[in-house]
Structure 1
Amino acid sequence: MKRLILLLCFAFCENVKLPPNFQKCNRNQPDLNQCLLQAAQNGISQLTRAYEKVNIPNLNPFEVPEVTVGQGSGTVAVDQNFKNCLFSGFHKMKLDQFEFDFDKKILHFVGTFPDITKKCDYELDGKVLLLPIRGSGKSTIVLENLDVDLVFHFEEYKKNDKTFIKITSNELKLEPGHVTFNFDNLFDGDKRLGDNINHVLNDNWKEVFDDVKAGYIEVISQILMTLFTNFFAKVSLEEALD
């Protein structure tokens, strides 16, 4: 079972204005998709502080109280339980595509995160690559050159004569160029055993990650879905695309 607990900030739908440093586009302009791409890239790079009026928290770092990544189907026979997580690197995303399709009710974007770093308290007890792994303490997992392809499906609804959108589902594909694992205090602090398991994890990073990729897809898609849902609960389409 994969579990993600987020501090959601859903608010009553009220139309607020975008911060003046956020670029706006017109829904009827012929180069709308190019404008949206530039506006989204500009906005993402500024998310190193909170924008409370439009319901966006600071993304560097982004706090997640609890994450559980379930066992894989072969290589990873252990539930990964994480608490007090700090994710950093979301604001560095380089977008290649950012498009609204208002007929199909789809928001589609493609891009790359140079690195996503997840620092958490962890608890592990099981086997990885048939080797026992056990411990609790601090952990750092870095996803480098993480390619993402995300489709949001949404619905439109009216509130006070303004049009808002609600994200109903998403489809995320992701592929890292490299993953680095580090778990402190494995085997009650036995440095030799702990270093050996960390080396094994990093030497076989792709096999290890691929076996539990579904858990990371759920975590990252829920984070991104939360951000967009909260934003569009505050900002109407009329305000975002005047």
Structure 2
Amino acid sequence: MTKNSFKRCHKSDPHFDACLVVNIEDAIHKLKNGAPELGLDSFEPLLISELVIGEGSGPVNVQQNFKNVRLHGLTGSKVLGHKASLDENVLFAQSVTPTLRLEADYDMKGRVLLLPIYGQGPCNVTLVNTKINHTLHGELFDRKGKTYMKFVNYTVTLRPEIVRFHFANLFNGDDRLGDEINKVINDNWSEVFTDVRDGYERSFGLIFQDLANRVFTRVPLKDIYLD
């Protein structure tokens, strides 16, 4: 895949934002098998070496440390809307991802819903039908006579319909206790996820910012937006 594989929109097009919606979704699907020339070796799953979700201020008094993360489902995302304020270098978008599944090796110790929890091993966190609002702030820079954009801030909000958790090997492999705590967490998924949602949103914002910059800092703006 090359930069010319991506469709482009004319800034003068009265339907510019609608064009962006179609083309962004097309680009996401084309990246399914990665794009090494853009620094994207794998997109399905997306590989992340480490992810840390800090403890919440309510029922989740435990830091979640994830390693060898495999993030599945991003290429199934559908863009619902997009707005570009090109003069201010600000982009807004809303998407929905049917299934966003995080598989990783976890390590944690603390309390959830006042219950002690500790363990390390494989885990699975699945967000279903997640609406994601994206806000990107960029800065322009020139290189070899061409203008590029670098995103200096990327914030997201995550609103899943439901979240499913599974942590294997809790309590040193005590299956009975492990099954019980997994059930409690899933029965109270909304309260549990809401308490640590800020941590997930910050982490996903950094992940998406890195992905966007791998493209935008390599592809000149003239090859993304046509005058």
Does the pair score TM above 0.5?
Answer: yes
1:151-208 CA-to-partner distances (Å, cap 9, x unmatched) read 1011112222211011011232111110000011111111110000000000000000
Match of 1:153 in 2: 137
State whether structure 2 residue 179 is matched by structure 1 residue 195.
Answer: yes
Residue pair 2:51, 2:66 contacting (<8 A) in 1 also = yes
For residue 225 of structure 1, the aligned residue among 205, 209, 216 is: 209
For residue 103 of structure 1, the aligned residue among 76, 87, 90 is: 87
Residue pair 2:155, 2:201 contacting (<8 A) in 1 also = no
Q: What letter is aligned with 2:146?
A: K
Match of 1:130 in 2: 114
Residue pair 1:55, 1:234 contacting (<8 A) in 2 also = no
**SS, match of residue 193 in structure 2:** helix
Match of 2:96 in 1: 112
User: 2-side partners of 1:155 and 1:167: how far apart?
Assistant: 6
Match of 1:62 in 2: 46
1:32-78 CA-to-partner distances (Å, cap 9, x unmatched) read 11111111111111221121223333211011111111110010011
Residue pair 2:34, 2:44 contacting (<8 A) in 1 also = no
Name the count of aligned residue pairs: 226
Match of 1:12 in 2: none
Match of 2:56 in 1: 72
User: 2-side partners of 1:236 and 1:99: how far apart?
Assistant: 20
Q: What letter is aligned with 1:238?
A: K
Residue pair 1:17, 1:239 contacting (<8 A) in 2 also = no
Q: What letter is aligned with 1:234?
A: R
Greater CA drift, 46-55 or 36-45: 46-55
Greater CA drift, 181-190 or 153-162: 153-162
User: 1-side partners of 2:161 and 2:216: how far apart?
Assistant: 32
Q: Percent identity of the aligned residues? A: 34
State whether structure 2 residue 7 is matched by structure 1 residue 23.
Answer: yes
**SS, match of residue 171 in structure 1:** strand
Deviation at 1:19, TM superposition (A): 3.8
For residue 33 of structure 2, the aligned residue among 49, 52, 56 is: 49
CA RMSD between the two structures: 1.4
Deviation at 1:30, TM superposition (A): 2.1
Match of 1:7 in 2: none
Matches within 5 A, 1:26-41: 26-41=10-25
Q: What letter is aligned with 1:152?
A: L
Residue pair 1:66, 1:82 contacting (<8 A) in 2 also = yes
**SS, match of residue 43 in structure 2:** coil
**Hey, which of these two has a bigger chunk of helix by percent?**
2
User: 2-side partners of 1:53 and 1:125: how far apart?
Assistant: 40
Match of 1:236 in 2: 220
Matches within 5 A, 1:207-218: 207-218=191-202
User: 2-side partners of 1:55 and 1:68: how far apart?
Assistant: 23
Task: Give unpaired runs (5+ residues) of structure 2.
Answer: none
User: 2-side partners of 1:207 and 1:122: how far apart?
Assistant: 21
Deviation at 1:17, TM superposition (A): 5.5
Residue pair 1:106, 1:152 contacting (<8 A) in 2 also = yes
Residue pair 2:155, 2:202 contacting (<8 A) in 1 also = no
Between 1 and 2, higher relative CO (CA 8 Å, sep ≥ 6) is seen in 1
User: 1-side partners of 2:18 and 2:42: how far apart?
Assistant: 26
Q: TM-score, normalised by structure 1?
A: 0.90
